[in-house]
Amino acid sequence: MINRINEDLSFLNRKYGLEWNDVTFSSPLLIFTLKKNEKYFDATIKASYDVTSSFNDVVLLRETITPDFTRLYSNDQFKIIIKEMEERTSSKFHFCRLLIVDDVFMVSAVFDYRGYIVDLENMRLVE
């Protein structure tokens, strides 16, 4: 069972860049807290392992993503692209969300009427 958990956590690290941070036991589940640190955001996400069988997998709980966008929100270029989109669409920026799309972490900027993917490498909003 320990080897299986270790393999699964290593897989999540390779696939998503998630680092193991903490573990708690909530019978019959082991709940792992995983961290992701990127240039513009940090994130915490949980994963679970059902200890009733040694053949189970560690399962990423995508609905538990907790992002920290402090560095992104304080970035001057990000502020500029948000202001430009507000002016262009006559809508107000509300917040960012962290999504996992096709196994890739993506940031979405949410405005009044829709969201846009944030291209962090080029610091632009993608429609």
Q: What's the distance, CA 6 to chain centroid? A: 21
Question: What pLDDT score does 103 carry?
Answer: 87
Distance CA 6, CA 11 (A): 9
For the chain, percent helix, then strand, then coil, each to nearest 5? 25, 50, 25
**Tokens 């969201």, residue located:** 115
88-111 residue pLDDT tens = 999 999 999 999 998 899 999 999
- β partners of residue 32: 23, 47
**DSSP-based three-state secondary structure for 100:** strand
Q: For the chain, what are the domain ranges?
A: 2-68, 70-126
15-41 residue pLDDT tens = 999 999 999 999 999 999 999 999 999
The CATH classification number of 2-68 equals: 3.10.450
**Tokens 């270029």, residue located:** 77
